[in-house]
Amino acid sequence: MKIKFRFSFAAVLVIPLYLTFLAFHTDIAQASDDAYDVKVPESKLAEVKALKNVVASNKKSLSEAKAIYTGKGTCFNCHGEKGRGDGELASSFEPPPRNFTLSGWQKVRSDGELFYVITNGTESGMPGFGDMLSDEEKWSLINYIREFGKSKSLASRK
Ligand code: HEC
pTM for the structure as a whole: 0.81
Domain ranges of the chain: 2-34, 39-148
C-beta separation of 30 from 37 below 8 A:
no
CA separation (Å) from 30 to 25, 37, 105, 130?
9, 10, 15, 30
Distance CA 100, CA 132 (A): 22
Helix/strand/coil (H, E, C) string of 72-105? CCCHHHHHCCCCCCCCCCHHHCCCCCCCCCCHHH
Quick one: DSSP state of residue 43? G
> 78-82, 91-95, 116-120, 149-153: which has the minimum mean pLDDT?
149-153
Residues 38-53: pLDDT tens digits? 999 999 999 999 999 9
Distance CA 151, CA 157 (A): 11
**How far does the centroid of ligand 1 lie from the alpha carbon of residue 21, in Å?**
33
Atom of ligand 1 nearest to the CA of 124: 18
CA separation (Å) from 134 to 45, 65, 83, 139?
22, 12, 21, 9
Confidence band (pLDDT; 50, 70, 90) for 12? confident
Is residue 55 lining ligand 1, measured as CB closer than 6 Å? no
* Planar angle of CA 89, 144, 117, nearest 5 degrees: 60
Residues 74-97: pLDDT tens digits? 999 999 999 999 999 999 999 999
Q: Which pLDDT score is estimated for 30?
A: 40
**How far does the centroid of ligand 1 lie from the alpha carbon of residue 11, in Å?**
47
Atom of ligand 1 nearest to the CA of 38: 26
CATH architecture observed for domain 39-148: Orthogonal Bundle (1.10)
Distance CA 17, CA 11 (A): 10
Quick one: DSSP state of residue 129? -
